Structure 1
Amino acid sequence: MIIMVNENITELEKKLVPKGTVSVIGCGRLGIRVIMDLIEVHRGGPLQIFAYDGANIAKNDIIHRKYGAKIGENKAKFAEDFFSDKVVAVCENITIETVQSIKGDVAIICIAGGDTTPIREAIIKHCEKNNIKTIGTNGVFGIEETVKVGDAIYSDGPVNYVNIENEGHIVVGTGRYIRDGAPITPYILDEISKKMIIECLKIINKINK
């Protein structure tokens, strides 16, 4: 049997190239998953990823160590070293004073630990002013919970504590609070990362056509 090869396939493949820039703010258990998933996108995905984090890898950062990281390495620098063709490390934590350094088409907010509300609000406001689309979390706790995607304005969960004035900030999560007593499980983080990537790719494909 003779199989006819479409001569346009090569030309179509050439069009499926990386495009756009994504800033991942926080390279912890969720952030490193997001970065690795973005790196793996083939025939598309972002052209460049800025990884922001000033923290170093600790013994309990199991996901980083699975990828070969050494204890004491900076988390953002590890991501850059893992795939420097695409990832640029910014080895500092984003603060209200440095929020202006966030750039690109999409900012994925993966910061955690302590009260992150003020810096989340600052990031979202900065991005809104600079036409950068934002994606964040809305509860990462859970065992069997469904991971939901929605606009922050219309979502229930920890995001309700963040002062968001306008539509457009996408949130992904279980809607569970730390007070609920559920753990943070790797499979929930995997699902959150997956859905964040889907939303990110939708944005990149739309704004770069």
Structure 2
Amino acid sequence: MDVEELEKKLVPRGEVSLIGCGRLGIRVAFDLLEVHRGGVKKLYVFDGAKIEENDIIHRKLGGLVGEYKVEFLKRFFGNRVEAYNVNIGKDNLHLIKGDVTIICIAGGDTIPITREIIKYCWKKGIKTIGTNGVFGLEENIKVEDAYYCKGPAELLKLEREGHIVVGTGKFIKDFEPITPYTLDEIAKKIVIECLRILRRL
């Protein structure tokens, strides 16, 4: 096969739902959509929040204060993104679709809705990836199955294996900051895990 034939085979494949487009979610979205010669064909993004002044990463990337985070992503990447300016809850789980769901929600107690999202996705045959703590300085970022890990993802109390988590394993009660470097590394590993799943389609 010549190079041109090989290039034709390296096309985007699969669809991903991204739940949450905050400081971590926006990094995951940009990294995932920047993949060349492969990657994701369609990204469905769910977040009801607008960009605020303290959303520095969004503003650095060109987002405007007052603009919906998901609309900014749509504006940047066009038809590769389907934007939903809603937060996923028990009443609208049916909006989630695709081959992989990445859960990047934060703020308050996210455990109950994260558990509901995972269970819904498993019922539909959708693979899931989430986080296991984003706090800490110069931490070793681990990729684990939530069923076996230590850290915040333990609180999900899942009945079986199959939910991949990426993170530091630290809790808010550890009183360590969330750095952009840690978020960058977590986003990178989430994207790699997602691409591994998509390659098997």
- Within the alignment, does 1:75 sit opposite 2:69 as a pair? yes
Among 165, 169, 174, which residue is 2:168 paired with? 174
- Which of the numbers 122, 126, 132 marks the counterpart of 1:128? 122
The answer to whether residue 157 in structure 2 is matched with residue 163 in structure 1 is: yes
Question: Which 4+ stretches in 1 moved above 6 angstroms?
Answer: none
Show the counterpart of 1:3: none
- Note the alpha carbon deviations across 1:65-114, whole angstroms, 9 max, x for none: 00111111101111111111311101100001111210000000000000
Give the corresponding residue for 1:104: 98
The AA in structure 2 aligned to 1:88 is E
For residues 151-209 of structure 1, give each alpha carbon's deviation from its aligned partner in whole angstroms, at most 9, with x where no partner exists: 00010000111131111100000000000000000000000000000000000001x2x
The correspondence of residues 180-195 of structure 1 with structure 2, limited to 5 A, is 180-195=174-189
In 2, the alpha carbon distance for the partners of 1:160 and 1:95 equals: 21
Q: Which residue of 2 aligns with 1:204?
A: 198
Considering only aligned residues, what root-mean-square deviation do their CA atoms show, in Å?
A: 0.7
Gaps of 5+ in 1: 1-6
Q: State whether structure 2 residue 46 is matched by structure 1 residue 46.
A: no
TM-score w.r.t. length of structure 2: 0.99
Partner of 1:153, secondary structure, is coil
> Hey, what's the Cα distance between the residues in 1 that align with 2:96 and 2:153?
21
- Aligned partner of 1:55 in structure 2 is 49
The two structures have a TM-score, normalised by structure 1, of: 0.95
Q: For residues 163 and 148 of structure 1, what CA distance do their matches in structure 2 show?
A: 19
1:154 paired residue number:
148
| Secondary structure class of the residue paired with 2:147 | helix
Alpha-carbon deviation of 1:14? 0.2
How far does the alpha carbon of each residue in 1:126-165 deviate from its partner, in whole angstroms, 9 at most, with x for none? 0000010000000000111110000000100001111311
Q: Distance in 1 between matches of 2:34 and 2:68?
A: 21
SS of 1:10 mapped into structure 2? helix
Count of residues in Structure 1 that have an aligned counterpart in Structure 2: 201
Is residue 29 of structure 1 aligned with residue 23 of structure 2? Answer: yes
> Distance between the aligned counterparts of 1:150 and 1:192, measured in 2?
12
Whether 1:12 and 2:6 are equivalent positions in the alignment is yes
